[in-house]
Amino acid sequence: MSAPGRVRLGAVGYLNARPLVFGLDSSPRFTLRFDVPSRCAELLHQGAIDVGLIPSIEYLRGPAEAGPYREAEPGRDDHAGYRIVPGPAIASHGPVASVALYLTRPIADVRSIALDTSSRTSVALVRVLCARVFKIQPSIEMRGPDLALMLEDCDAALIIGDNALTLDDGHAPSQVDKLDLGQIWTDATGLPFVYAFWAGRAGVLTPDDVRALQEARDAGVQHPEELAREYFGGAPGRQAVGARYLRDNIKYHFGSAERAGLELFYRYAAEIGLVDTAGELRFY
């Protein structure tokens, strides 16, 4: 649990999380740390933070030591104590720009995929899309996000977050195609995809805390240019890309369509054994 009067928040360090934490670093109620998405999940499962901006798949998973591909354990309900903060999320409805599969051959011919270890929801999304949309059964390797090295050994590679955005600046290897997985999901389902949301154990947030997180999102989405300018420092080209990304690609509202997309993703993940159960969404 948090120290008296303070709630320990763990947020994703990527640009796309900045609107959700707008002003929270100066709040007397919250402490704030930044990590890659997989680490946010581990910290929450371990109880090292009270509320985390966790990959959505981690709502259905157990302790961090289980790893991203633990086999389902019948009867185990690891997420029973978690609640979701209603309203804020990191989602897309169409192209997301920052979750991409890079290919050296047509997707139907892909036999191996290197997956970014900093991701968990996007890793699960790749596996769901391979089973349901691409109709392939590739071998999987977990690797650090170095596209050139990943593609030396595999036919395709998953890159997420800021790394995917900067690759679009012309740093991707030649003769490599890109599939935007947000677009692929929406084309296949007609629904948004939810990558992350605030979640924590029951009782760690008051109604005022929930409102504070919602209000941070409301304020943050009004400042895409400012946030991108601060994040990318003295790189005007990347600032412009970042502002457009925050404004046009990432959706920050968890509404009924996002819930339907998330529940469908959970059902598909359960069907291929990535999680034990599709679970039940519980909110603060």
In a domain, 100, yes or no: no
- Report d(CA 202, CA 87) in Å as an integer: 17
Over residues 219-236, the mean pLDDT reads: 95
In a domain, 77, yes or no: yes
**Pick from 100, 264, 110: nearest CA to 188:** 264
pLDDT-derived band at 190, boundaries 50, 70, 90: very high
Sorted by sequence, the CB contacts under 8 Å of residue 268 that are 6+ apart come out as 128, 131, 132
- Report d(CA 145, CA 157) in Å as an integer: 9
Range of the domain at 20: 7-89+194-247
Counting the structural domains of the chain, the total is: 1
CATH classification at residue 214: 3.40.190.10
Task: Considering only CA atoms, give the Rg of the chain.
Answer: 18
pLDDT-derived band at 173, boundaries 50, 70, 90: low
In a domain, 29, yes or no: yes
In a domain, 120, yes or no: no
Strand 156-160, strand 112-116: pairing: parallel
Q: In this structure, what token pair is assigned to residue 199?
A: 């979640």
Strand 193-201, strand 51-55: pairing: antiparallel
Residue with the bigger pLDDT between 47 and 74: it is 47
Tell me what pLDDT residue 153 has.
Answer: 92
pLDDT-derived band at 166, boundaries 50, 70, 90: confident
pLDDT-derived band at 174, boundaries 50, 70, 90: low
Sorted by sequence, the CB contacts under 8 Å of residue 94 that are 6+ apart come out as 182, 183, 186
Asked if pLDDT for residue 76 goes beyond 50, the answer is no
In a domain, 231, yes or no: yes
Asked if pLDDT for residue 43 goes beyond 50, the answer is yes
Q: What is the pLDDT of residues 90-110, one digit of tens each?
A: 999 999 999 999 999 999 999
In a domain, 76, yes or no: yes
In a domain, 279, yes or no: no
In a domain, 16, yes or no: yes
Q: What is the pTM of this model?
A: 0.90
The arrangement of strands across the sheet holding 177-180 comes to: 139-143, 112-116, 156-160, 99-103, 177-180
